[in-house]
C-alpha cells in the first residue's frame, strides 16, 4: 500500500487565502476592537468630534461625532470590523441613536473574550455564559423601565428629557433646550403615527443655531414662475414628474436637415403646438397650482401665467414625494384621464423670505401634522451636523411615542445591568460564571469611557457609582457637568428603553457571532482582463 504524503493539501483556487483557528480569531478580535477604539472617544456628553475628509478633487469635509456617520465614511477591510459597521447602520435605521454605544459595547465584549480565551476557556462556554447574562440584563432593564404615557404632562417631560439627553453628546449640546423643544413639538404633531416623512428639515446658511425654528406647514425650496400669482387660497395641486418639452420619440444620433429658415420655424411651431396641447390637458384637471419635478420651459410657463395658474418647476424628488404625502395628492406623469388623478389640496400657498432666500410656503395641508424645521447656522458643516443631531433626536422621540417606557441615562442603566449580571455570576457554578463576570465588566466600561472622555478620574467615579448601586440607589448615574455621581431622576437624564434594549441585544449578538469564528477564507482576487482592442 502506497504511503500517504504528509505535505499539506491546498484545496483552494490559486490566490485564495485561509486563516485558521487562533490566527482567524485574533484577526477578528483585533479588527472589531480597533473599530470600538476609533469611535469610543465620541461617547458621552463630553465626547470629541472627528473630521472626515473625502477623497478626490473637491474633497468634502464632515465634522461629526455620530458613530454611524463615522463608520459609514471609513472603508474597512477586516470582516469582523465590517460586522460592527453594519450593526451600527442597523442601530441607526432602527432607533436612530446608540450607534456609538452599540459598537463600543460589542468591542469591549470581544476584548474580554480575548482574555478568557487566553485562559483556555472555550468560546462555546463564553457564549453560553453571555446568553444567560444578556437575559438577566434585559430583565433588569425591563424592570427598571418606567411608563408615564397615561400622564400627559409627565410624558411630555420624559420626551423633553430624552431629547436633551440625546442632544447632549452632539454639536447642539449648548442649545439643547431650544432644539429639544423643536424636536418634541414636531414629533407631538405626528399624533403617534411616527411618520417622520411629514417632518421636513431645511438648512439655510446665515444667522446662528438659535435662529432655527419650527414652521407649521410645508416649505419648498423653489421659486414661483414669472408673472404668475404669488399667493393662492383654497388650492388644488397637480404634482407631476413629466417632460414639458414634447412627447416625441427621441432617436439617438438623429438629425433633421432643412433647406430654409422657414422650415426651422415650422418645426419650432410644431413643438410649441405639442407643448400647448399638453398644457391644455393639464388645465382640464381643474387646478390652480402645477408642480413639476422636471423643467417647465418658458413657453408652457407663459401659458400657465395666462391661465392664472401657479407653476413651480424642478422641485427635487424628495421634496415632491414629501409634498404629495402631506397634501394628499399623487405624483402623475400622464394627463389623459383627469378623473383618475388624485390632486393635492391646501388652504394657502405663498412666498416667504428666510434670510436672503425666497421659499414657497404651503399651509393648511391635508396632512395636518406636517411641519418644517428650518435650521440656521454659520457654515455648511455646522448645518449638516445639526441636521444629523436633530434626526437622531426625532428618531428616538418617534420610537418613544410608540414604546413609551424610559430608563435613566448617565451610565445608570449599564451599572444596574452590570450589578444584576455580577450577582447572577456569584450564584452560578463553573466557568460560565467567569464569562458572566466578563459581560458585567464590558457593561461597566461604558460609564468608564464616558468619565474618561470628560477628563475625570473614571476609576474613582465608577467605584462610587458601583457602591451606590450596591446600596440600592438604582437611579444614580454620572453627572458629567459636575464630575460627580448624582440622582438621574432629579437631573432629568432619561433615555429611551427601546434604544438601551437594542444596544444590549445587538452588541451581544454581534460579539457572539464574531466569537464563533474559527476560520476566515478569503476568495481569490478578480484578475484584470487585458483589453485586446486594436490600436
Give catalytic residues, as residue numbers: 66, 99-100, 392
Query: Which is it for strands 289-292 and 310-312: parallel, antiparallel or unpaired?
Result: parallel
The answer to whether 400 touches 91, Cβ cutoff 8 Å, is no
The answer to whether 438 touches 137, Cβ cutoff 8 Å, is no
Distance CA 403, CA 398 (A): 9
Distance CA 296, CA 503 (A): 49
Distance CA 167, CA 474 (A): 24
Q: For residue 256, count other CB atoms closer than 10 A to its CB.
A: 7
**SS3 (DSSP) at 48:** coil
Q: How many residues does the chain have?
A: 535
Within 13 A of 24's CA, how many CA atoms are on the CB side?
Answer: 14
3-state DSSP helix/strand/coil percent for the chain, to nearest 5? 50, 20, 30
Distance CA 341, CA 22 (A): 64
Longest distance between any two alpha carbons in the chain, whole Å: 100
Distance CA 178, CA 202 (A): 17
Long-range contacts of 151-157 (CB under 8 A, 24+ apart): 155/404, 156/184, 156/188, 157/492
What residues does 372 pair with on adjacent strands? 200, 215
SS (H, E, C) 443-505: HHHHHHHHHHHCCCCHHHHHHHHHHHHHCCCCCEEEECCCCEEEEHHHHCCEEEHHHHHHHHH
Distance CA 26, CA 33 (A): 10
Alpha helix ranges (H) inside 56-122:
67-73, 79-94, 99-118
What is each CA distance from 102 to 67, 132, 254, 501, 506, in whole angstroms? 9, 19, 58, 10, 7
Class of residue 231 by CB neighbours under 10 A (exposed 0-12, middle 13-18, buried 19+): exposed
How large is the angle between the packed helices 152-168 and 380-402, nearest 10 degrees?
A: 140
Amino acid at each position: 500500500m502506497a504511503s500517504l504524503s504528509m505535505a499539506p493539501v491546498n484545496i483552494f483556487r490559486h490566490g485564495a487565502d485561509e486563516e485558521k483557528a487562533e490566527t482567524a480569531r485574533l484577526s477578528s478580535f483585533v479588527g472589531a476592537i480597533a473599530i470600538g477604539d476609533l469611535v469610543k472617544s465620541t461617547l458621552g456628553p463630553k465626547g470629541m468630534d472627528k473630521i472626515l475628509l473625502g477623497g478626490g478633487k473637491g474633497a468634502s469635509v464632515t465634522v461629526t461625532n455620530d458613530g454611524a456617520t463615522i463608520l459609514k465614511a471609513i472603508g474597512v477591510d477586516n470582516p469582523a470590523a465590517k460586522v460592527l459597521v453594519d450593526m451600527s447602520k442597523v442601530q441607526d435605521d432602527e432607533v436612530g441613536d446608540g450607534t456609538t454605544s452599540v459598537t463600543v459595547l460589542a468591542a469591549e465584549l470581544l476584548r474580554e473574550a480575548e482574555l478568557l480565551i487566553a485562559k483556555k476557556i472555550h468560546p462555546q462556554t463564553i457564549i453560553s455564559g453571555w446568553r444567560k447574562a444578556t437575559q438577566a440584563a434585559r430583565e433588569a432593564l425591563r424592570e427598571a423601565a418606567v411608563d408615564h404615557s397615561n400622564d400627559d404632562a409627565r410624558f411630555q417631560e420624559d420626551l423633553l428629557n430624552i431629547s436633551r439627553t440625546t442632544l447632549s453628546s452632539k454639536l447642539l449640546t449648548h442649545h439643547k433646550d431650544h432644539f429639544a423643544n423643536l424636536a418634541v413639538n414636531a414629533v407631538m404633531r405626528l399624533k403617534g403615527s411616527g411618520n417622520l416623512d411629514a417632518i421636513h428639515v431645511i438648512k439655510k446658511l446665515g444667522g446662528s443655531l438659535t435662529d432655527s425654528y419650527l414652521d407649521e406647514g410645508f416649505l419648498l425650496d423653489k421659486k414661483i414662475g414669472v408673472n404668475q400669482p404669488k399667493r393662492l387660497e383654497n388650492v388644488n395641486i397637480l404634482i407631476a414628474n413629466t417632460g414639458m418639452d414634447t412627447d416625441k420619440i427621441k432617436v439617438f444620433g438623429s438629425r433633421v436637415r432643412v433647406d430654409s429658415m422657414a422650415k426651422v420655424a415650422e418645426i419650432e411651431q410644431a413643438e410649441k403646438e405639442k407643448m400647448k396641447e399638453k398644457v391644455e390637458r393639464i388645465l382640464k384637471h381643474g387646478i390652480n397650482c402645477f408642480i413639476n419635478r422636471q423643467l417647465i420651459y418658458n413657453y408652457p410657463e407663459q401659458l400657465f401665467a395666462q391661465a392664472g395658474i401657479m407653476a413651480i418647476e424642478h422641485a427635487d424628488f424628495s421634496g415632491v414625494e414629501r409634498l404629495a404625502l402631506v397634501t394628499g395628492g399623487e405624483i402623475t406623469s400622464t394627463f389623459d384621464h383627469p378623473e383618475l388623478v388624485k390632486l393635492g389640496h391646501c388652504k394657502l400657498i405663498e412666498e416667504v423670505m428666510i434670510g436672503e432666500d425666497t421659499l414657497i410656503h404651503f399651509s393648511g395641508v391635508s396632512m395636518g401634522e406636517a411641519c418644517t424645521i428650518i435650521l440656521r447656522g454659520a457654515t455648511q458643516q455646522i448645518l449638516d451636523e445639526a441636521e444629523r443631531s436633530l434626526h437622531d433626536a426625532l428618531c428616538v422621540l418617534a420610537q418613544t411615542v410608540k414604546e413609551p417606557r424610559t430608563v435613566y441615562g448617565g451610565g445608570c442603566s449599564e451599572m444596574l445591568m452590570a450589578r444584576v449580571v455580577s450577582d447572577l455570576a456569584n450564584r452560578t457554578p463553573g466557568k460560565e460564571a467567569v464569562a458572566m463576570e466578563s459581560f458585567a465588566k464590558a457593561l461597566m466600561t461604558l460609564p468608564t469611557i464616558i468619565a474618561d472622555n470628560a477628563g475625570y478620574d473614571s476609576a474613582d467615579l465608577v467605584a462610587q457609582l458601583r457602591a451606590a448601586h450596591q446600596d440600592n440607589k438604582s437611579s444614580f448615574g454620572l453627572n458629567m457637568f459636575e464630575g460627580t455621581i448624582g440622582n438621574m431622576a432629579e437631573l432629568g437624564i432619561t433615555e429611551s428603553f427601546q434604544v438601551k434594549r437594542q444596544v444590549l441585544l445587538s452588541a451581544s449578538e454581534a460579539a457572539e457571532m464574531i466569537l464563533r469564528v474559527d476560520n476566515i477564507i478569503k476568495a481569490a482576487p478578480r484578475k484584470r482582463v487585458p483589453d485586446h482592442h486594436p490600436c
